[in-house]
């Protein structure tokens, strides 16, 4: 809310990375990771947005983790992340903000809503 008005919030846009080496010195493939935080259910505790993938891949995946006591549970798995901006919408489903991912590169959108115990793809617009 800004001045009493609901507002869409951009939570994360992946950045371009340049990898100088083909692999790490221990032989494993380098991994790109990004973190963002946002309180999706208005309980005062931020959920963790964890984007991850191989630096060789053209696509990152986004998982969302929610703190539950002393542990974290996954409430979203494998949402499209690379080449797509993630937005928190002002609308809620089952007490959680809806999430929109929009790609200017692919000209596609993905709408996720909280169903049962996790976010699920509700609409894919090509």
Among 82, 88, 90, residue whose Cα is nearest residue 112: 88
Among 85, 88, 84, residue whose Cα is nearest residue 114: 88
**What local confidence, expressed as pLDDT, does residue 76 receive?**
96
Q: Please report which confidence band the pLDDT of residue 35 belongs to, taking 50, 70 and 90 as the band edges.
A: confident
Q: Please report which confidence band the pLDDT of residue 38 belongs to, taking 50, 70 and 90 as the band edges.
A: very high
The answer to whether 97 and 91 have CB atoms below 8 angstroms apart is yes
Q: Does residue 41 register a pLDDT over 90?
A: yes
Q: Please report which confidence band the pLDDT of residue 17 belongs to, taking 50, 70 and 90 as the band edges.
A: very low
Distance (Å, whole) CA 38 – CA 64: 10
What is the tens place of the pLDDT at every residue in 69-87? Answer: 889 999 999 888 767 888 9
**Quick one: what percent of the chain has pLDDT higher than 90?**
44
Instruction: Evaluate the CA torsion angle 88, 93, 94, 99 in order and state its sign.
Output: negative
Instruction: Evaluate the CA torsion angle 65, 107, 91, 119 in order and state its sign.
Output: negative
Q: Does residue 21 register a pLDDT over 50?
A: no
Distance (Å, whole) CA 26 – CA 104: 37
């Amino acid at each position: 809310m800004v001045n009493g008005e609901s507002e869409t919030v951009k939570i994360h846009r992946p950045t371009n990375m340049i990898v100088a080496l083909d692999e790490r010195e221990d032989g494993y493939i380098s991994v790109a990771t990004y973190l963002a935080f946002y309180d999706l259910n208005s309980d005062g505790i931020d959920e963790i947005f964890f984007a991850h993938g191989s630096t060789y891949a053209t696509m990152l995946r986004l998982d969302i983790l929610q703190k539950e006591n002393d542990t974290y549970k996954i409430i979203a798995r494998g949402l499209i992340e690379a080449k797509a901006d993630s937005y928190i919408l002002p609308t809620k489903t089952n007490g959680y903000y809806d999430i929109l991912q929009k790609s200017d590169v692919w000209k596609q959108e993905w709408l996720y809503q909280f169903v049962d115990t996790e976010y699920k793809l509700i609409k894919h617009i090509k």
